[in-house]
Chain A
Amino acid sequence: MPLVNNKVGDNSTVGKDKALADGEALVDSLIKVVACYRHLASCVGSCTDSLQLRDELRQTREKAQKLSVAICHHLTSHLRNKSLPEEQRKEMELLWVAFSSSLELLHVDMCKVFKMGDVFSLADTGTLVQTGLQGGGSEVAARALSIPDLNQAQPPALPAGLESQEQSTLEQEISQIDHMIDDMEMKVNVLRWMVEPHGPQYADPLSSTDSASLALLSVDEERPGHQPLCQRSHIFVLLLLFAVVFVAATLSVCIFLFS
């Protein structure tokens, strides 16, 4: 992960802007990875739980941690720099707050995955909860790792010993995140009540392609026939129009012929 390249010489503000842009990019991708991790974590213990899922979780977690360490260094070094201009500082503080919230979510998710990994051992698939999920989360993991398709080169049947190893690693990583959080609070003092967000209270809907497909998501079981009915009514209206136009055309032809 490329860290900030401070331009030597040149305009220092350009360098600072680049630092800000870099920080933003890092934080954005951390947010994405945390969201994907949460998505995958919600499948642990369910019927789709498998070695592959655990492996994907591991990879996502590693990516998240790499990003966190990078962001931590980046932001800490900039925020401790007393010569930072005011607007830059404000932006950095916003990033800082976003970063600490992501860490919070990541921490809880990691704890939950650890606990559930203990409770639901993959050796005994009879205990996995049948939640109704059918597919795996490979695409989500691929999204997290920013690669087009998750490499299926790894054999899904990983040795069972890896599971316990992963558990102990997870434990260590959780405590590492703990320490990072502690460290952060010690080193940089961000007054959270002074931080003002940019965005509005109500988020704008996502882009049109997103919202169109999202509209499909909001199928409530309460009205299952809603969507098809809409489409049917559209077709009906169109047919009616065509019929009217057809009748008008036939009439005009008749008049023309008979006149």
Chain B
Amino acid sequence: MTINTLAKGGWHREQMTCFQKMEKVIVAMQDPDMGMKMRNQRLLITVIPHAMTGHDIITWLIQKYSICEEEALHLGGMLVKYGYIYPLKEPRSIVLHPDETPYRFQTPYFWTSTRWPASELDYAIYLAKKNIRKQGELMEYEKERYSVLHKRINHTWDFVVMQAREQLRASKQRRKADRIVLECQEQAYWLINRPPPGVGNVLDMGLERPNNFSLRVTLNSDYYKREIETCRRALGRNRVKSSICLEGFVKYSEQYQNHDPIMQGCLPSNPWISDDTAHWTMNAEVVPTPTRLRVECWSFSFMELLKDVMGRKEFMTYLEKEFSGENLCFWQACEDIRHGESSKIAEKVEEVYKNFLAPGAARWVNIDSKTMDKTLEGIKRPHRFVMDDAQMHIYFLMKKDSYPRYLKSDLYKNMLAKAIVPQETKKSVFPFMRRQRHSSPSPAQAAAQATEGDGRGKGAGPAGTNSDV
């Protein structure tokens, strides 16, 4: 079974709009007063009415729609291309000739339709009919398609042949002129819907094909309201000039280039390649001595410092020296609320209030009055983001104030000096043993080698003294 039943909501197709318009033109041509002038077609013995020349068609189109000849030729050409008018002399040449070439209207049953597309069963029946009529003399491509169909809908082949026979017997009942017309109609229909190889299929719209034939957008006030809203939101979005954001992007890339394992390579070696996990152990969360790159990273932005566990610890040590450790504690507590369990939010907020916000609290944080009021108001109904404003305030306080001083402090500088730069593992003697191959051979390696030499010297010294203590 190849149909989609309407009942099952099987994809109710619509007729394409362009077809509906063409149909209107064809119907307008039928008008007995203002319509097309009809002639008779004379075959040897038979006379068949309702033929027209290409010239007639173009004249009529020019007159009716007040268009120029070129446009009429194009419009008429489309009518022929989509099968509403078919040529009589050369059925395979589906173009409109603006001369005495005869054409005829196609019957509405055979009008091109996206709603009822030509099915394989129909085509098989048509080919079977043609085969019986011409006693096996089909064209090459028709023979091929016939055998393909025979394989594809093999189960219903008896039906195909029987139906073909019955249709032929039915058409025998008509007079000769009508039979000729019916044959021409059907041939024209199939030349459009199953074009011979090499001829383009007019129903194939290629890339411009609309996605969904059955979706019709009604242009009512709701639609326009939605469009206006979408445009308004789009206008309100923040925009940055590309020159500025690209500059920022370049700066970021330059800053992080040395830290990127793909651009710079990992020291001592890339564990994925060399199966040596030294890189991971050296960069674990808590190590006695962090690597140099890691410590350098802390100076890039405050967030980097806070993200790193060791960095945070170091920063905390520094703040405690400056007697402003409660800021960082507060910030950490707020993070905990934001990312923690929902069930514990209320008690955590209570804790934070008790420790940091209540007047006379043990570790009272300095927040401006407006934010404080807002937060206290919000604490009455605690939720995950109730501390956001206060946290943001403290964060910027630390960032503007404590963080730059930390970077200039001795604590940081010592840490930087202490940091180790791992040695690149030695190249193996055998060329096929991949010990430390970097993912990209970058000339920056040479620069890294130079700093390595310095770092190692510095690292060895203080490391030695530390271990003694």
In the complex, are the beta carbons of A131 and B5 less than 8 A apart? no
| Chain B residues within 8 Å of A, Cβ to Cβ | 1-3, 5-8, 23, 26-27, 30-32, 35-36, 38, 41, 43-44, 48-51, 88-90, 104-110, 115-116, 119, 121-122, 128, 131-136, 146-147, 150, 154-185
Say which one of A36-44, A67-75, A232-240 lies at the interface with B: A36-44
Q: Mark A210-239, 1 if CB is under 8 A from B, else 0.
A: 110110111101101101100000000000
Further 10 A-B residue pairs, CB within 8 A, beyond A31-B163, A135-B178, A203-B161:
A46-B107, A108-B116, A126-B35, A127-B27, A127-B31, A132-B177, A134-B48, A140-B170, A178-B6, A216-B176
In the complex, are the beta carbons of B105 and A28 less than 8 A apart? no
- Alpha-carbon distance A7/B184, docked complex (angstroms): 50
How many residue-residue contacts, CB under 8 A, span A and B? 217
Residues of chain A within 8 A (CB-CB) of B119 are 104, 108
Residues of chain B within 8 A (CB-CB) of A122 are none
In the complex, are the beta carbons of B116 and A112 less than 8 A apart? yes
In the complex, are the beta carbons of B181 and A131 less than 8 A apart? yes
Nearest CB of A to B338, in Å: 56
Residues of chain A within 8 A (CB-CB) of B169 are 32, 35, 143, 206, 210
A34: contacting residue among B5, B163, B172, B173, CB under 8 A: B163
Q: Mark A76-89, 1 if CB is under 8 A from B, else 0.
A: 00000000000000
In the complex, are the beta carbons of A42 and B185 less than 8 A apart? yes
- Alpha-carbon distance A133/B107, docked complex (angstroms): 10
In the complex, are the beta carbons of B49 and A140 less than 8 A apart? no
- Alpha-carbon distance A35/B168, docked complex (angstroms): 9
Residues of chain A within 8 A (CB-CB) of B150 are 201
Residues of chain A within 8 A (CB-CB) of B7 are 175, 178-179, 182
Closest to A94 in B: B158
Residue of B30, B41, B160 with most chain A CB atoms under a 10 A cut-off: B30
In the complex, are the beta carbons of A221 and B38 less than 8 A apart? no
In the complex, are the beta carbons of A45 and B109 less than 8 A apart? yes
- Alpha-carbon distance A216/B45, docked complex (angstroms): 12
- Alpha-carbon distance A70/B122, docked complex (angstroms): 25
Residues of chain B within 8 A (CB-CB) of A251 are none
Closest to B137 in A: A218
In the complex, are the beta carbons of B155 and A197 less than 8 A apart? yes
Nearest CB of B to A23, in Å: 13
A-B contact pairs, 28 of them (CB 8 A): A31-B166, A32-B170, A35-B166, A35-B167, A39-B171, A100-B1, A101-B159, A104-B1, A105-B122, A107-B3, A112-B109, A129-B26, A129-B30, A134-B48, A134-B175, A134-B177, A135-B175, A139-B174, A144-B170, A174-B6, A181-B3, A182-B5, A193-B155, A203-B131, A206-B169, A214-B133, A217-B180, A228-B44
A206: contacting residue among B105, B132, B159, B175, CB under 8 A: B132
Residue of B136, B160, B174 with most chain A CB atoms under a 10 A cut-off: B174
In the complex, are the beta carbons of A126 and B121 less than 8 A apart? no
Residues of chain A within 8 A (CB-CB) of B146 are 201
| Chain A residues within 8 Å of B, Cβ to Cβ | 28, 31-32, 34-36, 38-39, 41-47, 94, 97-98, 100-102, 104-105, 107-108, 111-112, 115-116, 119-120, 126-135, 137, 139-140, 142-144, 174-175, 178-179, 181-182, 185, 192-193, 195-199, 201-203, 205-206, 210-211, 213-214, 216-219, 221-222, 224-225, 227-228
Residues of chain A within 8 A (CB-CB) of B136 are 202
Residues of chain B within 8 A (CB-CB) of A228 are 44
In the complex, are the beta carbons of B30 and A127 less than 8 A apart? yes
Residues of chain B within 8 A (CB-CB) of A41 are 109
Q: Is the interface of B mostly helix, strand, loop or mixed?
A: helix
- Alpha-carbon distance A174/B169, docked complex (angstroms): 26
If A42-B107, A105-B163, A129-B105 touch, whether A36 touches B170 (CB-CB below 8 Å) is yes
- Alpha-carbon distance A222/B116, docked complex (angstroms): 31
In the complex, are the beta carbons of B43 and A219 less than 8 A apart? yes
Residues of chain A within 8 A (CB-CB) of B162 are 28, 31, 98
Residues of chain B within 8 A (CB-CB) of A224 are 43-44
Residues of chain A within 8 A (CB-CB) of B106 are 129, 131
If A102-B159, A105-B121 touch, whether A197 touches B181 (CB-CB below 8 Å) is no
Residues of chain B within 8 A (CB-CB) of A199 are 157-158, 161
In the complex, are the beta carbons of A221 and B89 less than 8 A apart? yes
Residues of chain B within 8 A (CB-CB) of A129 are 26-27, 30, 105-108
Residues of chain B within 8 A (CB-CB) of A116 are 108-109
Nearest CB of B to A39, in Å: 5
Nearest CB of B to A11, in Å: 28
Closest to B166 in A: A35
Residue of B26, B160, B161, B177 with most chain A CB atoms under a 10 A cut-off: B161
In the complex, are the beta carbons of A101 and B121 less than 8 A apart? yes
Nearest CB of A to B296, in Å: 69
In the complex, are the beta carbons of A35 and B163 less than 8 A apart? yes
In the complex, are the beta carbons of A126 and B175 less than 8 A apart? no
Nearest CB of B to A232, in Å: 13
Nearest CB of B to A3, in Å: 22
Closest to B6 in A: A178
